[in-house]
Structure 1
Amino acid sequence: MSTEAFPKTARLLNARDYKPVFDHSRYKVSNKHFLFLATASQARRPRIGLVIAKKHIPKAVQRNRLKRALREAFRLHQANIPLIDIVVLARKDADKLPPVELRSMINKLIDDIITREARDTKEKDKKATRQQETLHK
């Protein structure tokens, strides 16, 4: 099976999956058009959930276009994404972006989350190493 597939196990499917991300989001990355929330996951792979409100994006065609672009970006990045659950909320006028700009913006936000998580993991590892050193002295 391809590592770039997008199976059901890579998606947040119900309220029980979304709730921890909304309640305990560890990372928040945003711009004018999107808000990405992320938290550590107990799943075996990174997962994504999309919240594209009809209030912000009234036309179904545009909502579906955004969802396709978000899923595709996640699918292509998932090999680099750590074990986290990500919820993406689209803001008003996100559907007005040209396709190239939309892809670029989504990629930047995903890269920001990956960078933040890597930085936090590195800091945790350093802290754990220091604690181990003090215990062995």
Structure 2
Amino acid sequence: MASPRYGFPRTRRLSSAADFQRVFEQPCKSADQYLTVLARTNGRDYPRLGLAIARRQIRNAADRNRIKRIIRESFRLRQPLLGGIDFVVMARSAASQADHETLRRSLHKHWENLVRRCKPSWSSSSDSIST
């Protein structure tokens, strides 16, 4: 039996301004004190991720990079369960003080919430994400 692929190829990234704009226009939104995650179905059978980690919110470059690494890791490990949804993750200033586990739990909550709320057409039986 083949194991699922957990890579993060270019096809799984939002790269153009038009891709980001499409998500910003009519998003499903999930937010907490650390992160805001916007989502929108994409008509594909795989999810894509965009990061919008503002220097104004997270001043230190090392903190911005750490947060991005944690977000990419969480997305990479859960992408088989996320279906055809585009996600844009934005960090709030409190994220720079949060530890790895706190951000990981926050992201898990956002992924579950948005997959359930966005009602992607890819599958109605996979509404829950389990770890």
TM-score range normalised by the length of the shorter chain: 0.7 to 0.9
Counterpart for residue 10 of structure 1: 12
Q: Which has the higher helix share?
A: 1
**1:60-118 Cα distance to aligned partner (Å, 9 max, x none):** 10000000000000001100002010111111121110111111111111111122234
Counterpart for residue 46 of structure 2: 45
Counterpart for residue 33 of structure 2: 32
* Percent identity for Structure 1 against Structure 2: 35
TM-score, length basis structure 2: 0.84
CA root-mean-square deviation: 2.0
Contact 1:73 1:103 in 2 (8 A): yes
Displaced runs of 4 or more, over 3 A: 117-122
| Aligned length, in residue pairs | 121
- C-alpha change, 1:72 and 1:43, in structure 2 (3 Å) is same
Counterpart for residue 20 of structure 1: 22
- C-alpha change, 1:119 and 1:12, in structure 2 (3 Å) is closer
How many angstroms apart in 1 are the aligned matches of 2:52 and 2:120?
27
Which structure: larger Rg? 1
**1:108-134 Cα distance to aligned partner (Å, 9 max, x none):** 111111222349975xxxxxxxxxxxx
Contact 2:53 2:64 in 1 (8 A): yes
Runs of 5+ consecutive residues of structure 2 not aligned to the other structure: 125-131
TM-score, length basis structure 1: 0.81
Contact 1:48 1:86 in 2 (8 A): yes
Counterpart for residue 126 of structure 1: none
Amino acid at match of 2:93: K
Secondary structure of the equivalent of 1:55?
coil
- C-alpha change, 1:44 and 1:115, in structure 2 (3 Å) is closer
Amino acid at match of 1:66: I
Counterpart for residue 116 of structure 1: 117
How many angstroms apart in 2 are the aligned matches of 1:119 and 1:83?
6
